Structure 1
Amino acid sequence: MSGNVVIVGYGMAGSRLAAELHARDGDRKVTVLGAEPHRAYNRIMLSTLLAGKIGEPDVELAEVAGQGTDVRTGIAAVAVDRAAREVRTDDGDRISYDHLVLATGSRAVVPPLPGLDPADLPERVVPFRTLADCRRILAAAEGARSALVLGGGLLGLEAARGLAARGLDVGVVHPLPYLMERQLDPAGAAVLAGTLAGLGVTTHLAVAATGVTATGNQIRLDLADGRSLTADLLVISCGVRPETALAAAAGLAVQRGVVVDDRLRTSDPHISAIGDCAQHDGAVSGLVAPAWAQARVVAQLVTGEDPAARYRPRPVVTRLKAAGVDLAAMGDPTGGPGEELTFTDPARGTYARLRIHDERLTAAILLGDNPSVGTVVQLFDRGGPVPADRRALLLGRSLGATAAAPAQSPALMPDAATVCQCNDVSKGALVGCWRAGARTVDDVVASTRAGTGCGGCREAVAGIVGWLSEVDSVEVTG
């Protein structure tokens, strides 16, 4: 399919779409506009960068410029003329399109507190969303002894743990009674709070912030219970909001996000939306795996590779990426039909909860070292029947090798088992890559993209590559 494709946004969704289009045959011109001044990067790994475990080059995504792809960083789209099918940029250019894809992402929410002006934040008050934010936090953390994080959700806790790993005394302020309320239940969150306390992160729960005061190098955070906390740095992690201003100004249907159908088309058939800014079936995702799946569907449709391609959301698995904390959560933690199994060992930082309905796993929380986490994720993701011995899932006992409950040994893991949730890479795909000549973890990752999302599967990928290197021939079970 020929024509001009313009992608607005050079984040994880936009850069993936550019790569998907680049990999497909066809005579087309692709223009990517990125408001940030640098190349695309893996936003999920910013907390690891904050912790000092990796450097900036490690968060960069593969460059896709060249061969029909024009990537313009530091250039923002300011208007869309749907009648003329043009995008106007902040440098005065007008770029025509046959198909436009909005991948504008989301922006950090700055709460309306006295002392916080989103357009002019104090030097030592920083949201945690972008690479520029991460740089500012790292600069402020130099020589600092303490930090506060406003927000006890997933990203806030990753930021808190990253700063604690740098030796700062860290406090997390959260207005709700327990941490990560979207993914956890009160019992699991209590165990998590205990684990974080042992890692240098104190939590202040069920108390709202009422104001911020910046004085010299100190930040004071006033709380609704009358207390005031002071620190050298305040990180704001109060959620994100889809960036929809460009779409709304163009007259597209916008609710929480830019409304799209199963083809990821907006109310204008010549415009698609993917990633954090897109609202599909009433939901806004904000996670990398759905964004990358959406990019693949749009690429298939725009290039004509698969005119029948449709986006179908898959069950979401949330992983907390923080050194010393192993957490996987999936499904609705608030309750539902079926049997409930729980195990708690606060002294060891272990909590497990499973919900099973009609012999299928509908929700799970696994905190701490649990050997069955891979099996539980597979059962939840694929909807396979759970084993008769529920304790095997709950406590991590060996399950043996079945299609419904793949064993931990790579030799016995079914071919269909998903190793990388972000990129939907199966064990069979890794084996096929090995057979095609890849011989190192980096080679396999480069070929399949496994491990390039949240990074949580890198150990599993390395284990499979290690197993493959030890055998002369591979028989993949199915």
Structure 2
Amino acid sequence: MNSNSLVVIGNGMASNRVLEELGKDHPFDAIHVLSDEHLSHYNRIMLSPLLADETTLDAITPHDADWYQQRRITVHLNTPVARIDTRQKIVVAGNNEPFSYHALLIATGSRSAIPAMPGTDNGTLPDNVLGFRTMSDVDAMLAALPTLKHATVIGAGLLGVEAAVGLKAQGVDVTLMHRNPILMNRQLDATASGILQRELEQRGIDVRTGVSPQGLDLTGNSATAVQYRLRSEPAEAAVKTLNTDLVVFATGILPNRELASAAGIDTQRGICVNERMEASAEDVYSLGECCEFEGLTYGLVAPIWEQAKVVAAGLLSINDPSGKSQLSGYAEQEHLTKLKVSGVDIHSMGQFEPSDNDQIIQLQDLKSGIYKKLVIREQQIVGVLCVGDVLDSSWYFDLLSHNADISAIRTNLIFGKGYCEDDTSKAGTQEDNAA
């Protein structure tokens, strides 16, 4: 096999984004993508609409065979990797097939972090207890539908909420449990969470917040009881029981770092990378949910898209060490997180929970499901939360990103760009008249 090859471990959204950034004129004679899944690359963000029967697998599969052929890319499905030899620059697949590389990209993603508790701590889960990360998880849920009456989703972050909505759309009764009193607490505050909870409950979803699961009482593969406590109750309070047919854990993710660690590549929580997304071994890169940069790991796409640009730039200049050293590296920055959850548009950015001495400007029309919140520090926007009305969120993000002084438009800032431009225009006209 030609050694002037790029080998990519993982066929998810992060690796696909790098392939798109590389284009057709990359310096490699061949690119080999090793995937442990049986399907071609698909858009994982669209798993929830797929579960809800709002789209099809073909519609969320972005590239056909010609696209890969034009870029000299071969995708090896059902090809898990057994080991990496960074000295000889060889990746060995589970079937013992070796893949020599000039550069290696590790994009192994993450897996569901299922908490250890009675019923999950024996290393083997029954068929009706699963995570929500891959097409296999969706297939398992869809296969269970003919006999599925009730499902319990544990964890109300983005994925948990989407799983609950998708199952409810299939006619299943759903209970959504969350330890925090605030749904999607990494993106929402209490007011925004209340709007989302109302929307979910209007759809018929049983939402229970402030709930701490204690264990699963498993009975074969057809019935399960979730044992839980209300966190507001004393520890001696009786454990409550919820009978259910399916349990979906959406309680966070764990980076898939084990393959890299076994190869002697530096890892902590994830695969450690520098600002050029380089791992500790020569000509090895990593990005996405499996990597760790300056102590941070990743779960949303916005920073991963930036990482993909850095990786692609490094790979395109891999034969030019002098040019490579001039490349811009990855740096943490604020991102505008755009979500559409249960039909509600949610845009979140920056520090939407205020610190001491911060000021808050809010607009609320909770009956209509509209909520806007600006966090101001020293005449600059440091955080924004828009629910229902997201028309001006990109403008707010631009002001936040550029540390803009908003003192001149502060009065009408919460009403959006149009009102503030009118104010600026009027102020300029008055100054002209005075002159």
Do both share a fold (TM > 0.5)? yes
Q: Distance in 2 between matches of 1:242 and 1:355?
A: 32
Residue number among 206, 210, 234 corresponding to 1:206 in the alignment:
210
Q: Distance in 2 between matches of 1:223 and 1:253?
A: 38
List per-residue Cα deviations over 1:91-135 (Å, max 9, x = no partner): 111111121111111111111121125753222222100011111
Q: Which position in structure 2 is the counterpart of 1:299?
A: 312
Residue number among 333, 336, 341 corresponding to 1:314 in the alignment:
333
Q: Which position in structure 1 is the counterpart of 2:68?
A: 65
Q: Say whether the 8 Å CA contact 1:80–1:88 is kept in structure 2.
A: yes
- SS of the aligned residue for 1:224 comes to strand
Residue number among 226, 234, 237 corresponding to 2:247 in the alignment:
234
Moved more, 387-396 or 159-168: 387-396
Q: Which position in structure 1 is the counterpart of 2:31?
A: 30
Q: CA deviation at 1:390?
A: 4.1
- For residues 45-444 of structure 1, the aligned pairs below 5 Å read 45-63=46-64, 64-67=67-70, 68-116=72-120, 119-215=123-219, 217-225=222-230, 226-304=239-317, 307=324, 308-309=326-327, 310-336=329-355, 338-386=358-406, 388-390=408-410, 392-396=412-416, 398-399=418-419
The amino acid that maps onto 2:229 is A
The amino acid that maps onto 1:246 is L
Q: Which position in structure 2 is the counterpart of 1:445?
A: none
Moved more, 179-188 or 249-258: 179-188
Q: CA deviation at 1:335?
A: 2.4
Moved more, 127-136 or 184-193: 184-193
Flag the 1:320–1:92 CA change in 2: closer, same or farther, 3 A. Answer: same
Flag the 1:317–1:143 CA change in 2: closer, same or farther, 3 A. Answer: farther
Q: Say whether the 8 Å CA contact 1:371–1:397 is kept in structure 2.
A: no
Unaligned runs of 5+ in 2: 231-238, 425-435
TM-score by length of 1: 0.78
Q: CA deviation at 1:384?
A: 4.2
Q: CA deviation at 1:245?
A: 0.2
Q: Distance in 1 between matches of 2:122 and 2:412?
A: 49
TM-score by length of 2: 0.85
Flag the 1:384–1:168 CA change in 2: closer, same or farther, 3 A. Answer: farther
Flag the 1:401–1:6 CA change in 2: closer, same or farther, 3 A. Answer: farther
Identity of aligned residues (%): 32
Q: CA deviation at 1:82?
A: 1.3
Q: Which position in structure 2 is the counterpart of 1:3?
A: 4
Q: Distance in 2 between matches of 1:93 and 1:31?
A: 12
Q: Say whether the 8 Å CA contact 1:106–1:243 is kept in structure 2.
A: yes
Q: Which position in structure 2 is the counterpart of 1:461?
A: none
Flag the 1:171–1:388 CA change in 2: closer, same or farther, 3 A. Answer: farther
Q: Which position in structure 2 is the counterpart of 1:452?
A: none
Q: Which position in structure 2 is the counterpart of 1:416?
A: none
Q: Say whether the 8 Å CA contact 1:48–1:322 is kept in structure 2.
A: no
The amino acid that maps onto 1:217 is S
Q: Distance in 1 between matches of 2:400 and 2:113?
A: 31
Q: Say whether the 8 Å CA contact 1:9–1:34 is kept in structure 2.
A: yes
- Give the number of aligned pairs: 402
Computing the radius of gyration from Cα coordinates, the structure with the larger value is: 2
Q: Distance in 1 between matches of 2:122 and 2:307?
A: 31
Q: Say whether the 8 Å CA contact 1:331–1:362 is kept in structure 2.
A: yes
Q: Say whether the 8 Å CA contact 2:362–2:414 is kept in structure 1.
A: yes
List per-residue Cα deviations over 1:213-264 (Å, max 9, x = no partner): 2446333111124221122322110110111001111111111111111111
List per-residue Cα deviations over 1:407-428 (Å, max 9, x = no partner): xxxxxxxxxxxxxxxxxxxxxx
Moved more, 156-165 or 21-30: 21-30
The amino acid that maps onto 1:316 is H
- SS of the aligned residue for 2:8 comes to strand
Q: Which position in structure 2 is the counterpart of 1:451?
A: none
Q: Say whether the 8 Å CA contact 2:5–2:100 is kept in structure 1.
A: yes
Q: Say whether the 8 Å CA contact 1:18–1:32 is kept in structure 2.
A: no
Q: Distance in 1 between matches of 2:407 and 2:35?
A: 48
Q: Say whether the 8 Å CA contact 1:18–1:30 is kept in structure 2.
A: no
- SS of the aligned residue for 1:196 comes to helix
- SS of the aligned residue for 1:173 comes to strand
Q: Distance in 2 between matches of 1:161 and 1:81?
A: 44
